[in-house]
């Protein structure tokens, strides 16, 4: 069972983000492994454990100056990582990123490719499906549970109304939602092992990709500040909070006044 | 400039189409576009009249897809159709199936996709509006490549118009088999809910981490019932497994625009605020006076939900 997990290092979400002069998210500060990706790594590790054989590897695209986030996924139990890092890819849209990741993944011929439904910085949420189509694999999206039964991936797929049970023959791309499983904490042994695991850093040229096919094809034209909403009333509860909420709801006519 | 040519992917919902699909048709009409609707499913018979009444001139009817996820099939079919009569834009609802369709269409057409759109602006090019940093800024973007622009639009970005007595001309289309294998739907499960649906409710009461434990979510449900509304949740407690995903409000959950939104023990992460900031009146109860939710609330109570909610529930019960 060969499983590849797509992971992303993102700016620390605890720090308020900002844009550079080209309207791109500044990625200068500390980067961490996207929390959304820890679920995918966990699902991958469990699939390999259930199969009794195989390995989990990681692919990523982005600045590889600091790969601490990637190492934290290796510490969970992935055996190696490939990061495509190239100035040519600055400002790449999701389809371009998918082309790059597809070029890496197709060399591995995995049984299953796992990704989060979306990253926690860009929230584009289309990359895994684009990747699946480029690899000519079925995309099982929004999975809240994943199992392999006789060469078929069986998943519960979250819908607006509930969930569907869906099935696709392997190989396949699966996107997992946050909360699908409880990600394991890296053990001390895992953290030590991760230090010696290989993180391959590749460029666009290494992958034999044509730079023209990776050209930026969408742009932000302008960014406007949204008028701030004026601050509402706020007070510290002194035991009258509930009564004051009711009075407010009567004032704005959500509740009819004066009780019944 | 000549009139825009806009295609709208209309997601079926029984014999109807989803509300977001109607919002997109309505906006295309507002942009004075020539509008084409695309839909599928076992109940497309009435959709020429239905999509026509919402402003579509043409209705591409893919018919029943036979128990598979629609993403790659609908995308492959739309990709083959747009190569004939190229639209300026294909508008797609930001739903689970909509996002699958958009991703596949992007790969099949080798065209980028604009997602999480909350508005459209007409100029020399059709611009998409995107909310940034929880709504403090808005970015306007466009595609530089060849048409069509693939645009995925969040629910409730546009008001629905008034349906007219008109019908779209139906074009029967044989679904195109995509070059990827299909995903079969073995069974569908609907989560039972009492009261109004989350995205239609006039009142939404949501709970977050500040509730402390899963059992306290009962307070949120009870308050929602007393106010005739629907219970919602922050991503944090959905991820923690306290309530199902169908309750989630926010970037990755439902977008709601009720008359009243009550946030209980929700700090107000960007992820959450994007999904509820359009509410008319926002009431927040949170222990932390510096919680970001108070920057958005019309009426904020700095206090413990375990004190305020039971008192509120008792007071509302006494009124009924």
Average pLDDT of the residues in A34-46: 94
How does DSSP assign A113-149, residue by residue? EEEESS-SSS----HHHHHHHHHT--EEEEEEEEEEE
Cβ burial of B184 (10 Å; 0-12, 13-18, 19+) is middle
Chain A neighbors of B136, CB-CB under 8 A: 225-226, 228
pLDDT digits (tens, 9 = 90+) for B95-109: 999 999 999 999 999
Which range is least confidently modeled, A93-102, A169-178, A250-259, B280-289? A250-259
Return the pLDDT at A28.
Answer: 73
Chain A neighbors of B288, CB-CB under 8 A: none
**Contact between chains at B103 and A178 (C-beta distance less than 8 A):** no
SS (H, E, C) chain B: CCCCEEEEECCEECCEECHHHHHHHHHHHHCCCEEEEEECCCCCCCHHHHHHHCCCCEEEECCCCCCECCHHHHHHHHHHHHCCCCCCEEEEECCHHHHHHHHHHHHHHCCCEEEEEEEEEECCCEEEEEEEHHHCEEEEEEECCCCCEEEEECCCCCCCCCCCCCCCEEEECCCCCCCCCCCEEEEEEECCCCCCCCCCCCEEEEECHHHCCHHHHHHHHHHHHHCCCEEEECHHHHHCCCCCHHHEECCCCECCCCCEEEEECCCCCHHHHCCCCCCCEEEEEECCCCCHHHHCCCEEEECCHHHHHHHHHHHHHHHC
**Contact between chains at A126 and B106 (C-beta distance less than 8 A):** yes
d(CA B178, CA B74): 9
* Percentage of the residues of chain A whose pLDDT score is greater than 90: 67
Please provide the average confidence, as pLDDT, over all residues in chain A: 91
B136 has pLDDT over 80: no
In CATH, the architecture of A2-214 is 3-Layer(aba) Sandwich (3.40)
Return the pLDDT at A258.
Answer: 55
Chain A neighbors of B193, CB-CB under 8 A: none
Return the pLDDT at B225.
Answer: 94
**Of the partner residues B72, B296, B299, the one whose CB lies closest to the CB of residue A248:** B299
Return the pLDDT at B131.
Answer: 85
**Of the partner residues A158, A229, A243, the one whose CB lies closest to the CB of residue B296:** A229
Chain A closest-CA separation from residue B203 CA (Å): 9
d(CA A154, CA A203): 35
d(CA A11, CA B65): 41
pLDDT digits (tens, 9 = 90+) for B186-220: 999 988 777 888 988 999 999 999 999 999 999 99
Mutate to test the interface with B, among A125, A126, A136, A167 (most CBs of B within 10 A): A126
**Contact between chains at B312 and A242 (C-beta distance less than 8 A):** yes
In 3D, which of A123, A119, A139 has the Cα closest to residue B107?
A139
Chain B neighbors of A172, CB-CB under 8 A: 181, 183
**Of the partner residues A123, A217, A243, the one whose CB lies closest to the CB of residue B143:** A217
Return the pLDDT at B145.
Answer: 80
**Of the partner residues B137, B239, B283, the one whose CB lies closest to the CB of residue A178:** B239
Please provide the average confidence, as pLDDT, over all residues in chain B: 93
What pTM, to 2 d.p., does this model score? 0.90
Return the pLDDT at A118.
Answer: 84
A259 has pLDDT over 70: no
A260 has pLDDT over 50: no
pLDDT digits (tens, 9 = 90+) for B229-248: 999 999 999 988 899 888 99
pLDDT digits (tens, 9 = 90+) for A140-168: 999 999 999 999 999 999 988 889 999 99
């Amino acid at each position: 069972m060969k499983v590849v997990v797509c992971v992303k290092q993102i700016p620390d979400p605890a720090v308020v983000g900002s844009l550079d002069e080209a309207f791109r998210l500044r990625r200068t500060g500390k980067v961490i492994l996207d929390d959304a990706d820890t679920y995918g790594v966990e699902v991958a590790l469990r699939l390999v454990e259930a199969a009794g054989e195989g390995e989990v590897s990681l692919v990523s695209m982005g600045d590889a100056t600091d790969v601490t986030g990637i190492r934290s996924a290796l510490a969970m139990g992935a055996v190696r990582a490939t990061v495509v890092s190239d100035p040519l890819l600055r400002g790449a849209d999701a389809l371009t990123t998918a082309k790059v990741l597809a070029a890496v993944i197709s060399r591995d011929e995995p049984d299953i490719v796992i990704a989060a439904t979306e990253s926690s910085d860009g929230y584009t949420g289309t990359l895994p499906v684009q990747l699946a189509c480029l690899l000519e694999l079925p995309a099982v999206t929004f999975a809240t549970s994943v199992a392999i039964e006789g060469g078929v991936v069986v998943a519960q797929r979250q819908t607006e109304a509930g969930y569907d049970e869906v099935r696709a023959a392997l190989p396949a791309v699966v996107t997992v939602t946050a909360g699908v499983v409880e990600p394991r904490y890296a053990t001390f042994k895992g953290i030590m092992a991760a230090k010696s695991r290989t993180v391959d850093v590749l460029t666009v040229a290494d992958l034999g990709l044509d730079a023209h096919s990776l050209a930026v094809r969408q742009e932000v034209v302008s960014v406007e500040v949204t008028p701030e909403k004026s601050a509402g009333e706020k007070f510290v509860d002194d035991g009258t909070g509930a009564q004051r909420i009711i009075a407010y709801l009567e004032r704005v006519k959500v509740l009819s006044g004066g009780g019944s | 400039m000549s009139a825009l040519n806009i295609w709208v992917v209309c997601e079926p919902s029984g014999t109807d189409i989803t509300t977001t699909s109607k919002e997109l048709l309505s906006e295309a009409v507002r942009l004075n576009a020539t509008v084409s609707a695309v839909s599928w499913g076992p109940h497309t018979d009435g959709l020429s009249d239905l999509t026509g009444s919402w402003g579509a001139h043409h209705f591409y009817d893919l018919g029943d897809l036979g128990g598979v996820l629609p993403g790659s099939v609908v995308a492959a079919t739309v990709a083959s159709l747009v190569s004939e009569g190229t639209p300026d834009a294909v508008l797609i609802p930001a739903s689970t199936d909509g996002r699958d369709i958009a991703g596949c269409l992007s790969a099949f057409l080798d065209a980028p996709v604009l997602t999480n759109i909350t508005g459209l602006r007409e100029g020399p090019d059709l611009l998409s509006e995107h909310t940034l940093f929880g709504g403090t800024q808005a970015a306007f973007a466009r595609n530089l490549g060849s048409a069509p622009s693939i645009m995925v639009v969040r629910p409730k970005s546009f008001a629905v118009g008034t349906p007219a007595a008109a019908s779209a001309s139906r074009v029967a289309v044989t679904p195109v088999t995509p070059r990827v294998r299909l995903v079969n739907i073995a069974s569908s499960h609907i989560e039972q809910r009492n009261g109004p649906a989350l995205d239609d409710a006039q009142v939404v009461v949501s709970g977050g981490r500040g509730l402390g434990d899963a059992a306290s979510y009962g307070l949120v449900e009870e308050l929602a019932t007393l106010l005739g509304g629907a219970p919602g949740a922050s991503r944090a407690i959905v991820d923690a497994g306290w309530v199902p995903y169908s309750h989630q409000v926010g970037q990755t959950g439902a977008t709601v625009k009720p008359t009243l939104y009550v946030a209980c023990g929700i700090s107000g992460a960007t992820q959450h605020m994007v999904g509820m900031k359009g509410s008319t009146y926002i009431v927040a109860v949170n222990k932390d006076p510096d919680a970001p939710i108070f920057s958005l609330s019309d009426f904020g109570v700095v206090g413990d939900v375990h004190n305020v909610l039971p008192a509120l529930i008792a007071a509302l019960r006494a009124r009924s």
